[in-house]
Structures are given as structure tokens and as C-alpha cells.
Structure 1
């Protein structure tokens, strides 16, 4: 070669020799980088949605930030006091205070408002106003800004302050909402005479009736009495009630409030804007609120609103409640993330090992001819970096496109870690295998392998970590935020079990090879012998990946099943059946309702229940005991169908002058099993408890007493209807109930069930678990395929030699299938057993209540949301692994049968 001639570039030449392997490696890196980048973004996204919904769904009274300042001091002239509460002065303070809100707090200008209000309501002297207990109503006067934007005028017009209002003004204009006008019998043109002013009452002339726009938002709900009047009591014995209502005055009428005893105060209400909040803002929000309530933020606010201004809000409590739920869910989600990450790491390492094994002879030749480890590692690093780095970048970009609202750094770190591992797997594996030049490679048969001391130390370390993680999880649960050892418990258990099984795997191969050799057929013996002669590394890594993935899939599937069961149970305890129809006032159901409901499509069973109450004396207090009168046959059948306290119908009857009854444990303990006389709303009755049940459909939660409705004298009839049936037509059911009469409510179990999974935190965590289970299963199957591909050339060459000696195609398929079977069966059986054991070991430390029922008012009974092993999550992945292994072996035998033995003999060399 001439001195200036150059050979072809190494990287380009090597990539061209195996284009499909390069493409497959790039796809693997892309998918893994995408998962590593999208996981933290998805977690932050659902935490962001959860925070925004928590703030948006909370009452406006809780989330609004209210800055208050007392009325101007009496030492000032009246004109100066009036100027201090006019709209212009309040608007100037509003602009300054809004700019002083610390990040990440931002005000929603559309729902924020300012004005002057009477901190103490004023008594109305008009005799025409309603007085429930003879007490006059009281009114809160508010001069709130922006009424024209937030209300529709139904009658009259908005109030105005035509002439300048002063401290001595005693006639002003006001407006009330439609609910206030209807409740207090007000109309346009009416006047309110309000006491509390030293030189005569204040007269408020009603000029308009307003319909609030967005009545549940902060403008109207920060002070609910402005929107809806409410009954208040005097807190006496007995309490007396009176009406509390609000009147909206013109903003310019604020000076008139300064002359009275209503303790007027200036206020600025800032509704928090949720559109730009993120899940990472929770700590900053709590700190910002603390600063505004009693810290540097309050000092700055007082510089704008006055030295005595105060800011109050319950936003920090809303955020703290969200944070508590998030912190309870996060460790459970971390378990899924650890499982998925562990399997992905094993598969990436396997891909590097497969490439190193395929090029073992080439690398050995390079070392024998003087190649340095640094030079070989650099060239291999360049080869893997060319497809891996762009693939990881594409995975990162795809993750950003899929989830757009999240911080970029965690995703970049995840994708970068995948790229680094993918690039380093092949060079590191090659450097370790070729530390010293060698003429040929020593055999590393699985059946004869003897693990060294370093491997033993590493395995013992993993075992100690697994035991420690299980003990820590069972002792303190998942409450410790950021506890990686606890979160990695399922993965460590699966990894420790995999290492133990890898140690034990050669034993049955050696034991079975001898008896198989004495059989007449050769296929069984050859398959076991060849499986035992496979390199130890070929069996170790796939087993690690498979067992870790199967453990993760079993644990994740059991978590999802436990969550679903808990929600089903909570929804059932809320309704007692698939549908519950009852009267809103406790009156009897209308005639014909049972027949109308039974005719609805999907309804399989209907039973009527009459609920009444009995007075029960317990020590020095009287309890109200729910007594349900039922029809024994239909009710017992419905209870069995719903799985909620089924019992034989003959347990309800009459005999010996007493009614047989079914009771809750507490009632049975108090009343005893002897006949007992109780007094119900329908009269006295003697009952005898025959059966004790914790729950019953008529009264799903709490204590109860069931009796035969026919034995209740003077009963007014059933008040509740329970319907059971899968797939009942909800629209037709509601239509049938509406047609039966007014005053009926319908509660559906399906709707209650759906409401339990509406929280973004819950839905996001469940999606993470589903992704973890699917990704773990996919990586496990890929690990199995990679393991089979690693030994494919040797198996192909063996099959070619045996075919040359007379082996039939059918025997070849049996041979390869039986050879792949031991490893697949070991992984499937071991994965099933380890998955079951992992769930049983970790169940006491896993709290599913927050994940299943966060924010729900109901419960699942005393047992709560319990983690139990799910049969399908154990069996399906294991069966899939066995089927895939057999399918790959059969496919390889079929493909080998289409080619000539000479071609096969060139495919590999078995020494």
C-alpha cells in the first residue's frame, strides 16, 4: 500500500458489516431512552395536574388570599377617611399588592376583587323580612369591584353612587342576587333599613336583582353570604335561627359605611392562578404563604396597604393535603420505576454481551496481534456511540413531545444515563473478557461452572440488601420519602431469587442428563447435554432479566388489582347495590316504582327497603339505630349477589312473639341474643338477633338491624329501592325514576366507582404502573430472545451436523424446543413463585389506601385496601415466557431446515 493510502474508516466498516444489528441496537436504545426520559416527566405532569386540581377544586374561601386593613382612624378628618376607601385608592393598593405576591403565587385578575365590607353584619329593621325564630335578618354590606363583569342583571340595574358619598350619607343603592331576593322576599325598589349608625339607620334601596356568573368561583364564593343567604344561630339553648345575607353596594358608596358600627374594613382578595403552577411548586407555595401571613412578605404588603394590614388564607392547608397524598403515592410508584429500570439495565448489558460474544474471535485476534485494551475499547465505544447517541437523543425528543409540561433536567439525565450505559456495555464487556491475550477461549459450560469468590461476595451483598429492604418495608412501610432501599425491595427480592436459581440451575441439568442418556431416543439426552454445555453467562443474564421482570409484573399487577378491588368495595359500600333509589325526605316510595325499575334493561333483581329508626339507650345517652324492614327472599338473594353480607332468608321471620333479626356486631353486642323490645318511629317491636353481619346492602356502612317488613306494624312503606344487574341502562333507569314522581334520588355504583379514580395523582400513578408492567414484560421477552440469539449459531451448527448424521426435521424441532425448555420453565416457575412470595412479604408494608381512595369520603371496611397476589399477573407473564421460548426454538428449527447443511456448518464452530 502506498504511504499516503488509507484504509476504510473502522467505524463505517464495522457498521456496514452488521447493519440490522446496528438498527436493532438503535431501536432498543431509543425505546429505553424514551422510557427513562418520559417517566420523570410523566410523574411531574400528573403531580402538576394534581396540584392544579387540588387548588381549583377547593372552596374559594380556602384558596383566596385576603389582605385586610381596618378602616381609617378616627383621628383623621372625615374627608381624608372617605378618600382612603374610595375605588381609586383601593385600586392603587391592589396594583401594588398584586405585584408583591412572591413566586410561584400569581393572582387571577378575572376572579380577584377589592372593596370595603362590614366585618360585623347589620341588623335589618324591616318587619316584612322573614324571621324564622322571630329574629330579624342581618346583612353584610360589600362594595366589591367588578360587579358588571361577574353578574347578569335580571331586574333593574346595578347600583351607582351618583353624588359623592360621604361619611354622613344615609341613603345608598344596592343589589342582591336572585337567591337572596327569593329567600328574603326582596324585589327591585324595596328598601332595607339597617341599624347600627348613631345618627339614624342606613337605608339601602334595592336597584337590581343579579344572576351571578360562575357562582362557584372566587368572586362570589370567597364570601358565600354575598351569593347565597344562610341560616345562622344564636348558639343559645335552644338555638334560635336568623338569616344572614349580603348586599352589593356601588364601589363609590364605601364612605357611608364608615359612620356605623359594622366595623368596616378594606380588603383585597387575590384568587390564585393555577395555570402556571407545577408539581415542583408545592414547597415554594407553602413558603410563600407563610411569608405573606407572618414574614417578609407581610412586611412588604403592609408597605402598600398600611401598617396594620393582615393577610389570611388556607391555601397552605390545601397544598399540604395534596402534598401528603402525593408523598403517600410516590413510594409506591417508585417501586414500579425501580422494576422497570432494573430490567432495562439487564437488557442493555445483555445486548453488549451479545455483541461481544459474536465478535469474540475477532477481538481475541486483535489482542494476539498487539492491539491495546485502550485502542480496542475506544474503537468499540465509537461503534456503539454512532447509533446510541442519536437514538437516545430521539428518545428524549419523543418524550418531550409526548409530555410537554415538565422540567427538562430529569429527562435529560435519564436519557443520558441510557446512552452512557448503551455505549459502555460493549467496550467494558470486551475489555473484561480480553484483559490478557489468549490463543483460544476456555469452555464455560453451565453444568460444570464453578463461581468464583468475587461472584459469591456480590451475591451475598445482594442477598443482604434484599433482606434489609424487606425488613425495612415491613417495619416502617413506604412512609419514608426518598428511601431508595425500600422502593427497590421487589427488585432486590427478584434479583436475589434469580441469583439463587442460577446457582441451582446446573444441578437438575446434571441430574437429568444421566437418566436421559439411558433412554432409547437421542433427542432428550442431546437437548439436556447441549443446554448444560451452554456458556454460563448465556443463562445468567436472561434469567436475571426474566425473574426481575416477572416479579415486577406480578407485583405491579397485584397493586393494580388491589386498587381496583378497593375501589369496587368502596363504591359498593356507598350504594349497597348497583343502583340505589330513595326519597330525599324519607317519605314512602311512590306506587309503581318497583315495576318501572324492574322493567329497565339490565336490571336483574329489585328489592324494597323501609328504613326507620329506633331509640336505643346506652348508659346516659340515647342512640339512633337504623332499622331496615325488608322482604326476606328478595333481599337475601340480592345480598348474596352483591357479596355484601349474604344470609339464608329463613333467618328473618317471626316466632314466639318476636321478630328474627340480622344485626351488625355492635348492635348484637348491646342487645344480646335474647328477645329485646325496641321502640321505632312506627311503634314498639320485639326482636331476636339470629345472625351477625358486618355489612348489609340496606345500610352499607354503620350499625343496623334487619327485620321482616311484614312484622313492622304501622310502617309507612318502603323508602329505598335497591337494584342489581350488570350493564343496567342508566339513562332508562333515571327516566323511569323521573316518571315515577318527584323527590327521588338515584345513586349508581358505577358512577361512585368512576369518581374514585378521577384524581390526577391516582390516574397518573396507575398509568405508571401499567407502563412498568408492560415495559417489564417486553424487556423480559426481549432478554429471552437475546439469550436465544446468543447461542443461535452454535445450535444451528449442531443441528446441521446432526442432520448430516440422519436427524429428521421433526426431531430437530423437538431438540431445539427441549433445549430451550429448561431455562424457560425455570424462569416461569421461579418468576411465579418469587412474584407470589414478594407480594406476601411486602404486602404488610404497602399502603394502597392513598393510591386507591385518595380524597374519597368512603372506605373499604376495616380491612382497607389490601395487597394480595393476583393469579393472572402471576400466570400470564410466566406462560408468555414459556410460549415465546418454544416459538423461537421452533422458528429457528424451521428456518434451519430451509437451508443446506453446508451453509449451517459455516454458521458456527462448537469446540
Structure 2
């Protein structure tokens, strides 16, 4: 058998090049998609991690290791030597070596140096003094890499003349352009810094520098070296508190020993900026472990051995990584659900392709078995025949995926493409081995209405039912993250399989139910006058049971598409509601103080504006005897109630908020739950920002309201407020087609304009979220495409037999129109079953799995607040559209096949010896 296998393969490829090319195309496409998915997921997750680190800023994400100055018990010369560049540089190299992978430091943005921990007051009269009685203060900083990270605007870089010690009387320094401008420092200025037990240290400014990357970690980790701070001393009842400047004087590294002679307590530091190119989401656990080790673990111990026993690490990088991990854990399982659904449909299509090839060559395999071919030998031949086509195609698909998505890990892509290739190679041999495990010339009929499922099939279906029920229950109880809190590690694969298993079980149930309506309709159809309907039902009933396999692919794809469409629709709905809750209307015009008197009318005349609701907001109001801070909104009850009803943000009857006729009676108020719990329904005073006090009584409680986005609010009739407090500070604008430019022109510079559409667009601020949506939509689309392909394969298998049937019936007087109706009616039972079952199963999957799915992580960034529950809801369009599309596709294919067959003559179809 081995000797004839190569000849067999060559013969098969020459005699059936079309089938080989079709298999190669299918395998290459599937392998490409399978290999591209994990790499695209890596790219989006890595991009999200880098974005999270960038948004946190270098001040939080850099690791700052600091050590106190050498002990006073050491000789002065050793203390000075510990601060010199040679010693600091050597320690810096050892610190870099202690950073453990996968965390890596960026040497270009990292640095080391010596700085005074405490700022030192300098009394030179020419320095800027915002308050005359308070002198400015400075930090002395001897930092490495100053020349590489700055450009000289004026003067030159500072230098050290000779060997600098703690007793040196004068050193050189540079300042940044911002420090020079705000503190009135020029080239040649001399700043006298107080010293210990000797005259002040004279620091001569020799250069003014401009940072080359002001937002880079070198400058932004310690922003005081770049930009001075204006410190205000808070004093009660002082509208203009005293203030003073704090800046930095940048010394050359060789001048660091001079800091020992000042009063600023010199400390050594090593600043490590994480390398963004080394941040990978799949190494998140390792990154967290490496940071923890540098903060209080073995790596910190090694650093202390190389630097100082009292070295400490400060960073917020661990909190940034934890926040990203929570976001990722909420998104990844949802993507896994779509990926598993698409992969399931693709696997079914590959198996169908093998089954189609095995069915077409049934007679050939039966003849080989009858002539003595062993089952093992036949399987080996078919495996070699398929592998010659599938392996190069899989390799080609992998190569295309690597070129299309250059980022990401290689191993998952290779494994995914290899799995596709293995399934493609095994489908035909396994199907043939199962069908021809015993030698027979004619197989038994497998009509749908007559075949009875075997006990093994029943046991297998019951097993799948138990697994699906367990997965659904796990998802409902634990959520997609696999933990009771809904956060943490990604959920297990069984949970990700839940929607697919629901579709699989529904497909198996529908396959069992499929013969019943056919049996019920056969007898009434027999009494019809025409023969087309009766013949179509008879043809549908005589369809072999294995041909129902496309129903599994179609139903799984429809369930996945409905589930995925509902997820995407739920994400969009969550963002819309969150944006509406943040803005309160379609647009918001607000200022800290009163708006100009004519502004509301100008806004009303802007294009697209339908309604303008005026609000008087006081965010500094103090309620009750404990003077708890609340936001008080004064509104016109009728107009504001209409706005709350339109937006769905705490609708209420307007008359309940009107000011009572008795001016001495408390004002009825609408309150948030926290305010209502604190004050109850009794009247209580509210002190306003202008010093006046009004008495209110809570009449209504709502979770949210358009005027105040957050909690802790009161809404009253503005007619009961003083004239000053009732002045309009905010406009809530509604309109279907707001012209943003025209609205901003109408407002001018009076106040900022916030649009709901812009707020909604700003919610997608992480590549992880946008990438997850793209992958989700792509997985659903791929699943739908493979479902279509499954339908085409099923119809392709029956195409020759249908063509021969139409040819025979045309010789008996069947018209072309009747032939089209016959093919359409024959295809409708399974199509209707799949469409109705897919819509019903998709709805059931959403309803069953919704309690365990929270869309907040996918829809909103951490800073945004969801309005209402962000749970999964069935989307009618996502349920109906895939089902209707599948039904139309089946009908269209049937009509197309009838038209194509009608173009050929009956003689061409009915040839002598044709076994169709």
C-alpha cells in the first residue's frame, strides 16, 4: 500500500484539480483567519497596556529608588565619594541589572543623581516674589544626562571646576526656560543658597535650557526640575493667600558633593522609566511580580546590597497594571465567546468539506474495500492525499497572517494554523473510515423521516446537554470573568463555550423535531391538485440524515451572530446612556458664574436646537445642621420635568416641585438617595453660596437628574430662590441635529460647550476596547461567512442529483417555473427551521446568559460612570437580520440553481450510465 500511495496522490490531483484547489483555498483562508486572530488580540491588548501606562504619566509609572546621604559616622571624603558620578554610575548599572524581565527599563529616559530632599529658601532680592514677605525656595539637583535631554537656549551647560567638595564656595548650574521666566533668572545670575556652618553656597547660572522631550520620563517623572511650582499657603478668610515659587537649579553631576554642605538634606536617587516596547499584556502577571519585587522583594534586596541598606522604591506602576488587568479581565471573556463561536462554525465547515468529498466518492471507497483494501491503508492514502494540499495551504495562510498582522506572538498563531490544517487533513479520512468500517456494496437508506437515532447518539446528545447546562449556570453565577466579583482572571473555556453549546443543543433538538412537521404535512399535501408541493415535501423527507449537518453550522452561526450583535448593541446603548447621564441633554452650556442675559435666546435660535432648559447651579450649597456639601439646582419645574422625561434621567411630575403659595413654607425638592437618607422628609435649611439660606423639604427621590451628573443633589423651583442665586449658570440643550459649530458660535467665549456626541466618542479611549469591538465584529462576520459556506457546501453536494431530477421531470412536462418552485419549496423546510430556530436560540442564549455578563468594561473607560445597568439585552435587529438573511440566501441559491440547470438541455443531464 505504501508503494502505491505517491502514485495515488498524483493521480487524484490530476483527475480532480478543482476539488484540490477548493480545499486549498478553504484551508488557506481558515488558517489565515485562525492565525491572525491571536496576533490581532495581542496587538490590541499590548496597545491598551501601553496606552494605560502613557495616560497614567511618567510621574506615576516610573520607579524612583532613593537612598539617604551617607552616614555622618563615615569620613567626609567617603561621604563625598559616594555622591560622585563614578560611584553613582556604577550603582546605576547594577540597579538596571536588577530589573527582572519581563519588566525592562528604558535607558534613554532613565537617570540618576543627587538632589536636596527639602527645598531651601533663598533671599536674593532680585528673585521673583509673588508675596513680598515670602522668599522663593530652590532644590539643588545634580542629575545625569542633562546634555542629552536638553538644548541650550542661552549661555552654556554648567561645569565643575576642579574637585568639588562639601566646602566648595561656588558651583555652576543651569535652569530650564520656564524656571528662568517665572523666577526671573538670567545667565550670569548668582543664587546664594544657605549652607551649614559657613557662608552661603554661590550658585552661578551659566545656561538656560529647553527640554527636548518635556513630557518624557526624564523630565516628567520629577516635573519640578522642568517647571517651578507656585505654592499657596491656605489661610482662613483670606481671598489672596501668601504664595512663593519653588524651582530647581541643575548642577553638573560632578558638583553633587556640594549638596552635603547645604541645609537641604541631600539624597541619592535612581530613576527607572519602563520601556513601552517591552510591555506585553500576556506577560501582565510577570510585570506585576517584577514591580512587586522591586518594591519589597528580592530585587530590592539586591539593589540595597549595591547601593544602600536604606534604599526605598516608590511607584504607582503596580496600581496602573492592576487597573489595566481589571479592564482586560472584563473584556477578554466576551471576545473569547465570539472567537469560540466563529471557530466552531469554521470547524463544522471543514468537517462538512471532508464529508462532502467522502459522500461523492462513496462508490469508489466501497469498491476499494470490496477489492481488499484495508481500513488503515485506505485512511493512510486519503490522509496523504489531503495533506499534500492542506499542509502547503495552511502554511500559506499562516504566512499571509504573519504579514497582515506583524505584531503579536508567533506560537499561538502557529498552533491555530496547525489546528486548522490537522482538522482539514483528518476530516476526509475519518469520515471515510467511519462510513466504510465494514465492507458493503449498498448502504441502508438514511431518510430523515424514517431513520431512528442510535443509543450512542442519544447518549452523546444528553452529554452535550449536561455540559451546556453546566456552562450556562456557571456563566450566570460567576459572570464572564469566572469569579463571583466579576473581576480577576479570565473565565474558563467552558464558560466561553456556553453560547455555542446552547446553539449546538438547539440544533440537535431541532434535528430530532424536524421529521415531525414533515410527516404531518405529507398527507395534506398529497391532496393538493398540483404535484410540485407534494413532490417538494417528499424530497425534503427523503433527504439523508447526514445532510442535516449544515443545520448545525447555520444554527450555531445564527446564535453566535445574535449573541454578538446583542453585545455590540448593548455596548453602544451603554455609551449613549452614559454620555446622556454625563451631559444631561444633547448639549450642555455651563460656566462657573452666571451666563450673559441674552445667551439663552441666542442658543434657542441656533440651527437644530429644539428646547433650551435654563438651570441655576450652586455646587457649594451646604445642607442641614452638619453643613454637608450638596449641588443645588434651581429650575423651572414644568420645563425641567419635560426634559427629565425625554432623557429618561429621573422623570417626575412637574407640579410636585412647584413653589407653594405660602412664601414661608419649605420649598419642595427632588433629592438624590444619599441626600434623602441623610435628611428624610422633614424640612431642613440649605445655605447657598451667596450666604442666604432657604428651607427645603424632600418631596421626590431619584437616582439621577439631568442638571447634576453625580450624586448628592437637590433640585428646587428657582422661583423660590433669591435673585442672585436664581441667575442662569447652565443651559441644557436638546435637538435631533445640533450644529456643533453654530452652537459654539452662538455661545462664543461665554462658556464651554459640551456635546453628548463628543462625550460618547471620548469613551473609547483604549485600544483594548476598540480592538475588542473590532475582533468581536470580525469573529461574528467570519462565523456568518462560514455559515453561508456551509449552506453552499450542502447545496453543492445535492446539486448533481437535483439537476438530474429536474432534467427527468422536464422530460415529463415540468416547466421551468415549476422547477424553480420545486427547488425553493424543497429547501424551505430546513431554511425555515434554521431561521426560526436561530432567532429563538439567539434570544434564549441572551436571556440565559445575560445575568452573568456586564458590558461596562467593554463599553466605558474606568473614569466614566454607567447610567443604569450595563447588562446584555436581546437586540431585535440582531435576532431577525441573520435569520432573514439565511432564509433569503437559501431561496436565492435554489432559484439560481434552477436557472442554471434550465440553461442546459435534458440530453446533457441524462447521459447513458449516469449514476446520479
TM-score in terms of structure 1 length: 0.91
Q: CA deviation at 1:152?
A: 5.0
Of 13, 19, 39 in structure 1, the residue corresponding to residue 11 of structure 2 is: 13
Specify whether residues 907 and 734 from structure 1 end up closer, same or farther in structure 2 by C-alpha distance, changes over 3 A only. farther
Match of 1:578 in 2: 586
Specify whether residues 467 and 492 from structure 1 end up closer, same or farther in structure 2 by C-alpha distance, changes over 3 A only. same
Whether contact under 8 Å (1:29, 1:418) holds in the other structure is yes
Whether contact under 8 Å (1:597, 1:736) holds in the other structure is yes
Specify whether residues 294 and 687 from structure 1 end up closer, same or farther in structure 2 by C-alpha distance, changes over 3 A only. closer
* 1:353 correspondence with 2:355: yes
Match of 2:723 in 1: 714
Whether contact under 8 Å (1:797, 1:908) holds in the other structure is no
Once the two structures are superposed, what CA deviation does each residue of 1:213-234 show, in whole Å capped at 9, x if it has no partner?
A: 4333222222233334446688
1: distance between equivalents of 2:171 and 2:641?
A: 67
Once the two structures are superposed, what CA deviation does each residue of 1:306-333 show, in whole Å capped at 9, x if it has no partner?
A: 4554444332332232223222322221
Whether contact under 8 Å (2:533, 2:822) holds in the other structure is yes
Match of 2:574 in 1: 566
Greater CA drift, 505-514 or 574-583? 574-583
Q: CA deviation at 1:644?
A: 3.0
Match of 1:553 in 2: 561
2: distance between equivalents of 1:155 and 1:841?
A: 70
2: distance between equivalents of 1:109 and 1:820?
A: 67
Q: For 1:689-700, list aligned pairs within 5 A.
A: 691-700=700-709
Match of 1:70 in 2: 68
Q: For 1:30-69, list aligned pairs within 5 A.
A: 30-69=28-67
2: distance between equivalents of 1:660 and 1:617?
A: 14
SS at match of 1:407: coil
Greater CA drift, 347-356 or 272-281? 272-281
Match of 2:487 in 1: none
2: distance between equivalents of 1:206 and 1:297?
A: 39
Whether contact under 8 Å (2:763, 2:864) holds in the other structure is no
Whether contact under 8 Å (1:817, 1:886) holds in the other structure is yes
Whether contact under 8 Å (1:793, 1:908) holds in the other structure is no
2: distance between equivalents of 1:751 and 1:133?
A: 46
SS at match of 1:774: helix
Q: For 1:468-507, list aligned pairs within 5 A.
A: 468-480=470-482, 481=490, 483-507=492-516
Match of 1:788 in 2: 795
Structure 2 gap ranges (5+)? 483-489
Match of 1:865 in 2: 870
Of 431, 437, 440 in structure 2, the residue corresponding to residue 438 of structure 1 is: 440
SS at match of 1:449: coil
* 1:216 correspondence with 2:211: no
Of 612, 620, 630 in structure 2, the residue corresponding to residue 606 of structure 1 is: 612
2: distance between equivalents of 1:815 and 1:67?
A: 81
Whether contact under 8 Å (1:797, 1:909) holds in the other structure is no
Specify whether residues 8 and 153 from structure 1 end up closer, same or farther in structure 2 by C-alpha distance, changes over 3 A only. closer
SS at match of 1:791: helix
Q: CA deviation at 1:361?
A: 1.6
Match of 1:453 in 2: 455
Once the two structures are superposed, what CA deviation does each residue of 1:454-507 show, in whole Å capped at 9, x if it has no partner?
A: 100100000000011011111111223351111111111111111111111111
Specify whether residues 573 and 244 from structure 1 end up closer, same or farther in structure 2 by C-alpha distance, changes over 3 A only. farther
1: distance between equivalents of 2:4 and 2:308?
A: 82
TM-score in terms of structure 2 length: 0.91
Whether contact under 8 Å (2:128, 2:245) holds in the other structure is no
* 1:903 correspondence with 2:908: yes
1: distance between equivalents of 2:450 and 2:245?
A: 89
Match of 1:167 in 2: 166
Greater CA drift, 363-372 or 836-845? 363-372
Whether contact under 8 Å (2:195, 2:263) holds in the other structure is yes
* 1:760 correspondence with 2:767: yes
Q: For 1:254-273, list aligned pairs within 5 A.
A: 254-273=256-275
2: distance between equivalents of 1:13 and 1:482?
A: 49
Of 390, 393, 398 in structure 1, the residue corresponding to residue 392 of structure 2 is: 390
2: distance between equivalents of 1:548 and 1:435?
A: 30
Q: CA deviation at 1:129?
A: 5.9
Once the two structures are superposed, what CA deviation does each residue of 1:681-708 show, in whole Å capped at 9, x if it has no partner?
A: 3534455666544322211222333334
Whether contact under 8 Å (2:500, 2:560) holds in the other structure is yes
Q: CA deviation at 1:611?
A: 0.7
Whether contact under 8 Å (2:225, 2:250) holds in the other structure is no
Greater CA drift, 705-714 or 749-758? 705-714
Structure 1 gap ranges (5+)? none
Match of 2:842 in 1: 835
Specify whether residues 592 and 199 from structure 1 end up closer, same or farther in structure 2 by C-alpha distance, changes over 3 A only. same
2: distance between equivalents of 1:280 and 1:7?
A: 44
Q: CA deviation at 1:47?
A: 1.7
Specify whether residues 416 and 828 from structure 1 end up closer, same or farther in structure 2 by C-alpha distance, changes over 3 A only. same
SS at match of 1:102: coil
SS at match of 2:807: helix
Match of 1:777 in 2: 784
2: distance between equivalents of 1:203 and 1:432?
A: 94
Q: CA deviation at 1:598?
A: 4.3
Match of 1:380 in 2: 382
Specify whether residues 908 and 378 from structure 1 end up closer, same or farther in structure 2 by C-alpha distance, changes over 3 A only. farther
Specify whether residues 232 and 834 from structure 1 end up closer, same or farther in structure 2 by C-alpha distance, changes over 3 A only. same
1: distance between equivalents of 2:674 and 2:59?
A: 39
Specify whether residues 605 and 910 from structure 1 end up closer, same or farther in structure 2 by C-alpha distance, changes over 3 A only. farther
Once the two structures are superposed, what CA deviation does each residue of 1:361-405 show, in whole Å capped at 9, x if it has no partner?
A: 222222222222223222222222222112111111111111112
Specify whether residues 888 and 27 from structure 1 end up closer, same or farther in structure 2 by C-alpha distance, changes over 3 A only. same
2: distance between equivalents of 1:177 and 1:339?
A: 58
Match of 1:282 in 2: 284
Q: For 1:291-306, list aligned pairs within 5 A.
A: 291-306=293-308
Q: For 1:678-689, list aligned pairs within 5 A.
A: 678-682=686-690, 683-685=692-694, 687=696
1: distance between equivalents of 2:428 and 2:448?
A: 22
Match of 1:623 in 2: 628
Specify whether residues 889 and 133 from structure 1 end up closer, same or farther in structure 2 by C-alpha distance, changes over 3 A only. farther
Whether contact under 8 Å (1:568, 1:753) holds in the other structure is yes
Specify whether residues 78 and 769 from structure 1 end up closer, same or farther in structure 2 by C-alpha distance, changes over 3 A only. same
1: distance between equivalents of 2:552 and 2:637?
A: 57
Whether contact under 8 Å (1:225, 1:244) holds in the other structure is no
Once the two structures are superposed, what CA deviation does each residue of 1:56-96 show, in whole Å capped at 9, x if it has no partner?
A: 32222222222333323334443443333233443343344
Q: CA deviation at 1:124?
A: 4.0
Match of 2:486 in 1: none
1: distance between equivalents of 2:655 and 2:616?
A: 19
Specify whether residues 440 and 133 from structure 1 end up closer, same or farther in structure 2 by C-alpha distance, changes over 3 A only. farther
Whether contact under 8 Å (1:614, 1:678) holds in the other structure is no
Specify whether residues 284 and 86 from structure 1 end up closer, same or farther in structure 2 by C-alpha distance, changes over 3 A only. same
Match of 2:714 in 1: 705
2: distance between equivalents of 1:733 and 1:163?
A: 66
Q: For 1:322-333, list aligned pairs within 5 A.
A: 322-333=324-335
Q: CA deviation at 1:20?
A: 2.7
1: distance between equivalents of 2:98 and 2:541?
A: 74
Matched length: 898
Whether contact under 8 Å (1:86, 1:254) holds in the other structure is yes
2: distance between equivalents of 1:791 and 1:502?
A: 19
Q: CA deviation at 1:120?
A: 2.7
Whether contact under 8 Å (1:174, 1:247) holds in the other structure is no
Computed over aligned residues only, the root mean square deviation of the Cα atoms, in angstroms, reads: 3.2
Once the two structures are superposed, what CA deviation does each residue of 1:326-360 show, in whole Å capped at 9, x if it has no partner?
A: 22322221111111111111111111111111111
SS at match of 1:249: strand
1: distance between equivalents of 2:872 and 2:729?
A: 38
SS at match of 1:275: helix
Specify whether residues 562 and 383 from structure 1 end up closer, same or farther in structure 2 by C-alpha distance, changes over 3 A only. same
Whether contact under 8 Å (2:480, 2:491) holds in the other structure is no
* 1:803 correspondence with 2:810: yes
2: distance between equivalents of 1:23 and 1:628?
A: 71
